[in-house]
Chains A and B, each alone.
Chain A
Amino acid sequence: MTENISPSRLSSQALPGVERRHRKEQIFRRLGLGAILTSLLFLMFFLALIVARGHGAFLETVILVDYHFDHETLDIDQAVSQNDLANANYRSVIRAAMRELAPEVSGRSARRDLYGILGAGTEYDLRDLIIAQPSLLGTTAGIWTPSSDEFHLFHRNGGDRASRQSTRLSPLQIELYAELDNAGRIKTRFNWTFLSSGDSRDPEQAGVWGAVKGSILTLGICFLLSFGVGTLAAIYLEEFASKNWVMRVLEVNINNLAAVPSITYGLLGLAVFLNFFGLPRSAALVGGLVLFLMTLPTIIISSRVALQAVPPSIREAALAVGASRVQTVFHHVAPLALPGMLTGSIIGMARALGETAPLLMIGMVAFIVDPPSGVLDPSSALPVQVYLWAESPERAFAEKTAGAIMVLLVFLITMNLAAILLRRKFEKRW
Chain B
Amino acid sequence: MVENMMLENGAAKIRARNVCVDYSGQRAINKVDIDIPGNCVTALIGPSGCGKTSFLRCLNRMNDIIENCVVSGDITLDDEDIYGPQVDAVVLRRRIGMVFQKPNPFPKSIFENVAYGPRIHGLAKTRADLQALVEASLGRAGLWDEVKDRLDMPATRLSGGQQQRLCIARAIAVEPDVILMDEPCSALDPIATAKIEALIDELKEKYTIVIVTHSMQQAARISQRTAFFHLGDLVEQGETESVFSNPKDARTGAYVTGRIG
**Which of B16-24, B167-175, B234-242 binds A?**
B167-175
Q: B105 near A: Cβ within 8 Å?
A: yes
**Contact mask for chain B residues 67-98; partner A; CB cutoff 8 A; 1 contact, 0 none:** 10000000000000000000000110110011
**Which of B1-9, B41-49, B116-124, B208-216 binds A?**
B116-124
Whole-angstrom distance between the Cβ of B62 and the nearest chain A Cβ: 7
Do B91 and A322 have beta carbons less than 8 Å apart?
yes
| CB nearest neighbor in A for B94 | A322
Do A321 and B171 have beta carbons less than 8 Å apart?
yes
Do A321 and B93 have beta carbons less than 8 Å apart?
yes
A327 to B122, CA, bound (A): 14
A318 to B121, CA, bound (A): 12
Q: Which of A242, A322, A430 contacts B117 (CB 8 A)?
A: A322
Q: Which of B97, B105, B107, B108 contacts A320 (CB 8 A)?
A: B97
Do A315 and B65 have beta carbons less than 8 Å apart?
yes
| Residues of chain A lying within 8 A (CB to CB) of residue B93 | 319-322
Do B120 and A317 have beta carbons less than 8 Å apart?
no
Report if A320-B65 is in contact (Cβ < 8 Å); known contacts: A331-B116, A336-B107. no
Report if A314-B104 is in contact (Cβ < 8 Å); known contacts: A243-B67, A320-B93, A430-B156. yes
Do B65 and A319 have beta carbons less than 8 Å apart?
yes
A249 to B104, CA, bound (A): 34
Q: A332 near B: Cβ within 8 Å?
A: yes
A430 to B108, CA, bound (A): 7
Do A313 and B102 have beta carbons less than 8 Å apart?
yes
Q: B60 near A: Cβ within 8 Å?
A: yes
Q: A43 near B: Cβ within 8 Å?
A: no
Do B167 and A317 have beta carbons less than 8 Å apart?
yes
A322 to B102, CA, bound (A): 19
A63 to B205, CA, bound (A): 94
Chain A contact-residue range equals 20 to 34
| CB nearest neighbor in B for A430 | B107
Do A321 and B102 have beta carbons less than 8 Å apart?
no
| Residues of chain B lying within 8 A (CB to CB) of residue A322 | 90-91, 93-94, 117, 120-121, 174
Do B97 and A321 have beta carbons less than 8 Å apart?
yes
Do B117 and A319 have beta carbons less than 8 Å apart?
no
Report if A327-B100 is in contact (Cβ < 8 Å); known contacts: A242-B67, A314-B107, A430-B108. no
Do A316 and B107 have beta carbons less than 8 Å apart?
no
**Contact mask for chain A residues 311-344; partner B; CB cutoff 8 A; 1 contact, 0 none:** 1011111111111100100011000100000000
Q: CB within 8 Å of B: which of A300-316?
A: 311, 313-316
Q: CB within 8 Å of A: which of B115-138?
A: 116-117, 120-121
Q: CB within 8 Å of B: which of A411-430?
A: 429-430
| Residues of chain A lying within 8 A (CB to CB) of residue B139 | none
Report if A316-B174 is in contact (Cβ < 8 Å); known contacts: A327-B120, A430-B108. no
| CB nearest neighbor in B for A243 | B67
A315 to B104, CA, bound (A): 10
Q: CB within 8 Å of B: which of A258-292?
A: none
Whole-angstrom distance between the Cβ of A150 and the nearest chain B Cβ: 63
Whole-angstrom distance between the Cβ of B195 and the nearest chain A Cβ: 21
Report if A430-B154 is in contact (Cβ < 8 Å); known contacts: A317-B105, A320-B93. yes
A315 to B60, CA, bound (A): 15
| Residues of chain A lying within 8 A (CB to CB) of residue B60 | 320
Do A316 and B94 have beta carbons less than 8 Å apart?
no
| Residues of chain B lying within 8 A (CB to CB) of residue A430 | 107-108, 154, 156
Interface centre among B106, B167, B171 (most CB of A within 10 A): B106
| Residues of chain B lying within 8 A (CB to CB) of residue A323 | 90, 116-117, 120
A319 to B94, CA, bound (A): 9
Whole-angstrom distance between the Cβ of A309 and the nearest chain B Cβ: 13
B-contacting residues of A (Cβ < 8 Å)?
Answer: 242-243, 311, 313-324, 327, 331-332, 336, 429-430
Q: Give 20 CB contacts A-B under 8 Å.
A: A314-B107, A318-B106, A318-B116, A319-B62, A319-B93, A320-B62, A320-B97, A320-B171, A321-B94, A321-B97, A321-B116, A321-B120, A322-B94, A322-B117, A322-B120, A331-B116, A336-B107, A429-B107, A430-B108, A430-B154
Q: A319-B93, A321-B97, A323-B117 are in contact. List 4 more A-B contacts (CB 8 A).
A: A317-B104, A320-B97, A331-B116, A430-B156
